[in-house]
């Protein structure tokens, strides 16, 4: 998976250039058409682009060389992720989109040899897709220790029943990694649940619907599904890691995942910023007077540039620390980048929409798509308010010891 630095800085800069060229030449011309159309109708084109990315050596950049990737460090992959994030299709085409990338990391670290052979390798090769089922409609997603999905043992099988939603990309996935309570009697709430791999063709596994997001019902890669598990039977060997380790595995998965998300958000910010600036200089309010001459617009542009740059430096600093010290050492940093970059993302998109005027809320640009789909950035992976409170408690704890 994410490897130690195995590529020189000169070669890495050439690689970044290759990613920029690929995204700008192959994805920018089609991405608006794809996200505003029927996604499935574009799958043949997108799979062809996946093969193109493979032929150019741009596929699965997060993997080690031994696994068919590029052997990038976490910091290097973060920079690639920003470039891919400028197109809604970037991560998908290069096979490093959530939730697949998180599931790859999870199976790489904690999966059995059988699980790796059966599920991880095809996932890495881009032959199948996956989803991650943790959030439940009846419990607050910000507190994943509370869930009603139960996996009880019957002989050599788990029998799983429960109700999940916001299971991203369940539509089109070959398997789900399901968080389920296996030890309800355990006192510690952090040791009740386990992670279990459930093929989506298992009897009893069903997609209730793709949840409409601000009026838009997604499909396939763009979907957030509601699913039900009704006495789904899978072998005990489908458990990932140890029983009761589900919460710990979820945290291990989410740490790097938040860095991936933040760098993707920065990529979106850069694309929205570019659209905003182009609109500002090309739109005349009066003959010979461009929108860019207005002080308010100038301030928005200046503030956006400063906030995007601050976000990038903050996330890369966190990635370096995680790379050198491990995830536990950057707990506070992860909370900081999560809420800060999510807020910057929405600020920049909102300003870009405002600069475009009425056009900004149409589907004639990517801005309305991102506004709909990325508003959730301040909610998923822990609401911003939860991360702010956690960071403040950590800071204040140091003062109470003095």
Q: Which residues of the chain are modeled with pLDDT < 50?
A: 1-3, 5
For residue 346, give every residue at least 6 positions away whose Cβ sits within 8 Å of its Cβ, in sequence order, or none.
Answer: 374, 375, 377, 378
First and final C-alpha spacing in the chain: 41
> What pLDDT sits at residue 2?
47
> What pLDDT sits at residue 256?
79
For residue 45, give every residue at least 6 positions away whose Cβ sits within 8 Å of its Cβ, in sequence order, or none.
Answer: 30
Hey, which CATH number is domain 130-243, 2.40.110.10, 2.60.120.10, 3.40.47.10, 3.40.50.2300?
2.40.110.10
> Among all chains, which residue has been given the structure tokens 């640009």?
365
CA distance 97 to 221: 9
CA distance 61 to 65: 9
Q: Cβ atoms within 10 A of the Cβ of 378, count? A: 18
Q: What is the pLDDT of residues 343-370, one digit of tens each?
A: 999 999 999 999 999 999 999 999 999 9
CA distance 154 to 301: 61
The first and second tokens of residue 84, run together, are 């891919």
> What pLDDT sits at residue 176?
98
Q: What superfamily does domain 248-400 belong to in CATH?
A: Butyryl-CoA Dehydrogenase, subunit A, domain 3 (1.20.140.10)
- List, in sequence order, every beta strand (DSSP E) within 339-383: none
Spell 350-374 as b/e; 16+ CB within 10 A means b.
Answer: ebbbebbeeebeeeebbbbbbbbbb
Question: Domain spans of the chain?
Answer: 9-97, 130-243, 248-400
> What pLDDT sits at residue 211?
94
Contact 181, 151 (CB under 8 A): yes
CATH class of 9-97: mainly alpha
The first and second tokens of residue 345, run together, are 């993302």
């Amino acid at each position: 998976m994410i490897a130690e630095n195995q590529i020189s800085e000169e070669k890495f800069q050439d690689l970044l250039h290759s990613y920029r060229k690929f995204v700008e030449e192959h994805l920018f011309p089609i991405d608006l058409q794809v996200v505003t159309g029927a996604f499935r109708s574009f799958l043949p084109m997108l799979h062809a682009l996946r093969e193109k990315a493979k032929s150019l050596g741009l596929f699965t950049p997060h993997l080690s060389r031994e696994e068919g990737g590029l052997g990038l460090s976490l910091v290097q992959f973060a920079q690639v992720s920003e470039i891919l994030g400028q197109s809604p299709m970037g991560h998908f085409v290069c096979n490093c989109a959530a939730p697949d990338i998180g599931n790859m990391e999870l199976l790489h670290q904690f999966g059995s040899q059988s699980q790796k052979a059966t599920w991880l390798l095809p996932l890495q090769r881009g032959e199948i897709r996956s989803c991650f089922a943790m959030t439940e409609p009846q419990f607050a997603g910000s507190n994943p220790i509370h869930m009603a999905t139960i996996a009880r043992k019957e002989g050599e099988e788990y029998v799983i029943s429960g109700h999940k939603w916001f299971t991203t990309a369940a539509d089109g996935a070959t398997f789900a990694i399901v968080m389920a309570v296996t030890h309800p009697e355990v006192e510690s709430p952090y040791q009740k649940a386990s992670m279990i791999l459930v093929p989506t063709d298992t009897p009893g596994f069903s997609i209730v619907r793709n949840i409409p997001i601000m009026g838009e019902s997604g499909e396939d890669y763009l979907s957030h599904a509601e699913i039900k598990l009704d006495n789904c039977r899978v072998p005990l060997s489908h458990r990932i890691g140890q029983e009761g380790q589900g919460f710990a595995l979820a945290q291990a998965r989410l740490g790097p995942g938040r860095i991936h998300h933040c760098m993707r958000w920065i990529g979106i910010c850069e694309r929205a910023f570019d659209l905003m600036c182009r609109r500002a200089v090309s739109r005349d309010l009066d003959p010979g007077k461009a929108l860019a001459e207005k002080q308010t617009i100038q301030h928005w542009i200046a503030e956006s540039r400063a906030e995007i740059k601050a976000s990038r430096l903050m996330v890369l600093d966190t990635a370096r620390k995680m790379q050198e010290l491990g995830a536990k050492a950057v707990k506070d940093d992860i909370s900081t980048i999560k809420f800060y970059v999510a807020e910057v993302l929405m600020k920049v998109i909102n300003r870009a929409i405002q600069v475009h005027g009425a056009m900004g809320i149409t589907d004639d640009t990517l801005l309305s798509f991102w506004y709909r789909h990325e508003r959730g950035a301040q909610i998923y992976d822990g609401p911003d308010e939860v991360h702010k409170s956690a960071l403040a408690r950590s800071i204040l704890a140091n003062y109470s010891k003095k």
